[in-house]
Structure 1
Amino acid sequence: MQENPTVWLFDLDNTLHDADAGIFHLINRAMTRYMARRLKLSESAASDLRQDYWHRYGATLAGLQIHHPEIDIAEFLRESHPIDAILTRLHGMADTETPYAV
């Protein structure tokens, strides 16, 4: 057994953090800026395209993969999900001594 296993936790229904903390706004803004820069669009056009892909394909990344295969997925995820900024907004279970998972 691995001594320090890597754990990935996905909070798909926003039960582990405050959904009103502005995390999705941060991600959406970062995705829009990335798309504007890489696709040479205005921020307004990039925002419209991001929302269109999200509505049509269920994820902005899916639309980018279909229509812009030149986009580097790892680069997109790294730039559009500013983890350091997100972590400063997460509060709740991570701020307690109580073990919520094993």
Structure 2
Amino acid sequence: MPGIWFFDLDNTLHNASHAIFGGMDERINQWIIQHLQVGAAEADRIRREHWRRYGATLIGLVRHHGVDGLQYLEDTHRFDPRPLMRFERGLALKLAPLPGRKMLLTNAPSIYSRRVMAELDLDRRFHGHVAIDHMRVFGQFAPKPSKRMLRQLLARHRIQPHQAVLVEDSVANLKAARAIGMRTVLVRGYTRGAVRSSGYVPAHSAHQSGRASCVDCCVHSVAHLRRKAWLISSLDRTLADV
């Protein structure tokens, strides 16, 4: 059985595409406009480009614009997400039968992720909470899809890659996890729903029409994982040469 399930947060445990992502994008754009002194179109371009290149806009802003990363996270995520949330009720009970420990692994900051996890009633049911402000390698921010960060995380918990499962809506993050020998589950429901309803592919999520080679298992919702646990635990995996 897998030792640890690492769960992403947005568009994995809840529907961030419903209302949260749009507002968050606007807050980030406004922050960039104010602090980098650029126009609206340029701010939007900067946000999108850094996210696509690094997996988190934060990294590009720190590396290329010298911003205070922690202040940026505080400024852009200082809001109450609860009125904007949509999620499956009873999620805690549906995840309870999964074998092994459960941890949150999110590129969102803890100021936001802890509020969301509390609303989901998962905060006290998970064994750990790793947010982007905790993801550091040699003192530098290293969020998903950093392979170095993932290896460091597994070493900290004294677990082999094949004993860990990453549950995500992002194929790029799953690809990194698969490359170091972790098992991978793609959650498609919330991203697909956003595409069907508006035709808009959220920049934060990876929309995949087919099944990528880095994906061991696909589910519409994390609530369906208990039906797939037997498959995940029986995967015949060869560890990557790390």
TM-score (norm 1): 0.71
Distance 2:50 2:91 in 1: 39
Structure 1 residue aligned with 2:75, among 76, 79, 82? 79
Unaligned runs of 5+ in 1: 1-8
Q: Which has the higher contact order (CA 8 A, sep 6+)?
A: 1
The number of aligned residues is 88
Q: Please give the secondary structure, in 1, of the residue aligned with 2:17.
A: helix
Distance 1:15 1:72 in 2: 28
- RMSD over aligned Cα, in angstroms? 2.2
Shift of 1:99: 7.3
Aligned to 1:15: 12
Higher strand share: 2
- CA distance in 1 between counterparts of 2:12 and 2:47 reads 25
Aligned AA (2:85): L
Q: Distance in 2 between matches of 1:38 and 1:99?
A: 39
Deviations 1:5-34 (A, max 9, x none): xxxx8515x232123322111111111100
The higher radius of gyration belongs to 2
Q: Counterpart in 2 of 1:90?
A: 85
Q: Over residues 66-88 of structure 1, what are the superposed CA-to-partner deviations in whole Å (9 max), with x where a residue is unaligned?
A: 1112x12122111212431x221
* Cα pair 1:27 1:80 within 8 Å, conserved: yes
Find the aligned partners of 1:18 and 1:55 in 2 and give their Cα distance: 21
SS at match of 1:20: coil
* 2:79 maps to amino acid: I
One-letter amino acid of the counterpart of residue 73, structure 2: L
Higher helix share: 1
Cα 1:15–1:49, aligned 2, differ >3 Å: closer, same or farther? closer
For structure 2, which runs of at least 5 residues remain unmatched after alignment? 1-6, 93-121, 126-242
Query: In structure 1, what residue type is equivalent to 2:30?
Result: R
